[in-house]
Chain A
């Protein structure tokens, strides 16, 4: 067994796939793990995969032309999932896709396709949850600031949505779990920065932002529920508890 250790991120995984094929080893003897998250095996050879943009690009082109654009999007979103095995599943999906071609996405009975399908769905759902439940607060400086803590690295998917929604606003979204932040300027430009420490954000944000609309929203939220229909279980299903600590109305 040869284990290829690739860099984190989608491009890293695609480079790993390229190197596996370039090594000419039988595919069943290869697996792909993420450099930072793998569990070492006793009887395996390890081979590191450096990040090289042209390799990733070549694999991406192959996926798009041989399978479909949709498969590419599925794989990209699966790479944002938290599972440590995502690299290996992506490799298996691509290996299958290179024989099955365009119909690969429909082969849901195949474990590789099903896993990718599920990861894609999970990531998509989580991004949608954040689009729903993210709350901005207005800072004194006029910047709108929102904090999230998702399991998957969905900051980019979420930021795309808000960039379209609020093109004229200064806003920032901070992902405290992955220590990443999206900054959007009122000019319409936005960036994502990695390794943003929590303390730095707190310091920059400052204390004591009083906002009259926070209380109004809480009033509205509590008023709109019909007392005779109280149903906490339904509420919990629709709005999982882990999102509530970031939401204005539950603070």
Chain B
């Protein structure tokens, strides 16, 4: 490999942004920091997206690698050392310049700095530290900074970076240790989990300190996140969701991101992906992730060892609901908040609105619609003042078939963006119900 350093800034940006684009995390949320005279920038806890790329993903941070030079040879990665691409590197000053100039034009919310590993993990981490130190102290930047922790880097270095950054992340990449060994020679699960544990401990300690000294410096205030690749190895959805749940519970992660596997470099140990990246699977995993974080579901409620993968035609919440019809219908006026959250078609916001509004009077289905409840799904699971909106047979097959018609179109759209489909006169987007014997008889005798 040859490192090309005397290249124009724009060319470097093109190469190093291209190399960074497979990292999913681009959030600028989790920390509120007011602006200050003499400094540039502030942060808002909800985060701000500044643009949306042609793939519909938000662009919030200047997502770049410091260098795409890497000593590792992870099979799925564009920057693996055996891949023949142009290698280049930003100097810390160039990173600062780009961040500040983009920030002042309101293009970005801050910096997402990652890097290939040069020489050693420690050396790389030192370079990252230098860049963000300059950004914070020389350029007086108060915007958002997200930095990758390099697995295997020295404890002290990670700690020093943590006091400058808002969020840190270490990518788990693959959900099991076996897959990791197979695809990432040179990385081990321990090496990844160790800094994750360290950052978690640092955050807890810092929180205790802040409770006593309000102006103490803050350590990774927006928490840490990680990312897993979907579809590069044979793990099923149940394993993925269980790992995510364990990470949320044991490591207090803010987010786990899922990235549908895009084959960039062919390798014999990687699966051949026909029909593009597994976007639907990724979508289902995100839906389940939301259920874990905001809706009080557990991984073993959604899936089990016998049913290890998500239903293609139903979203995880509907899927759970039709298998647990004994819990429904739920009465809007009296059910507690946790129960409401489990109704398909109700989200956090609409459930909160219902709880707020029902204190002052009765609700009708029209009101529910106004609050943002998706009645198309919710009608099967709700009663409002004791009445269902339409007569519903509380039966798994019936409800499933009703729900599927709607979902099927979405699923088809996801796989066949920008293509066309023959319109069918009968059963358009409806499941193909097999006629029963009685139906055949009725048709024969002209009753139907």
Please give the residue numbers on chain A whose beta carbons come within 8 Å of chain B beta carbons, in ascending order.
Answer: 100, 103, 106-109, 114, 128, 131-138, 144, 146, 162-169, 188, 212-213, 215-217, 219-235, 237-239, 247-249
Contacts and interface: CB of A to CB of B under 8 A. Distances in A.
Contact of B56 (A212, A222, A234): A234
Interface of B: 9-10, 13-14, 17-18, 20-22, 34-42, 48-59, 62-63, 98, 101-102, 104-107, 260, 262, 276-277, 279, 353, 356-357, 359-364, 367, 370-371, 417-418
Given A106-B357, A107-B357, A144-B105, A235 B35 contact: no
Contacts of B371: 108
A224 B357 contact: no
B285 to A, nearest CB: 15
B54 A235 contact: yes
A136 B13 contact: no
B17 A215 contact: no
A136 B20 CA distance: 26
B53 A235 contact: yes
Contacts of B36: 167
Contacts of A109: 357, 360-364, 367
B26 to A, nearest CB: 9
A168 B40 contact: yes
Contact of A220 (B62, B106, B360): B62
A235 B364 CA distance: 35
Nearest to A106: B356
Contact of B50 (A108, A133, A169, A228): A133
Contact of B359 (A106, A138, A221, A227): A106
Given A134-B106, A219-B13, A228 B262 contact: yes
Contacts of B277: 228-229
Contact of A164 (B35, B49, B106): B35
Contact of B10 (A166, A219, A227, A249): A219
Closest 5 CB pairs of A and B: A234-B56, A225-B53, A229-B55, A164-B35, A108-B357
Contact of A165 (B41, B262, B356): B41
Contacts of B17: 219-220, 223-224
A144 B359 CA distance: 49
Contacts of B22: 226
B107 A248 contact: yes
B42 A248 contact: no
B125 to A, nearest CB: 24
A162 to B, nearest CB: 8
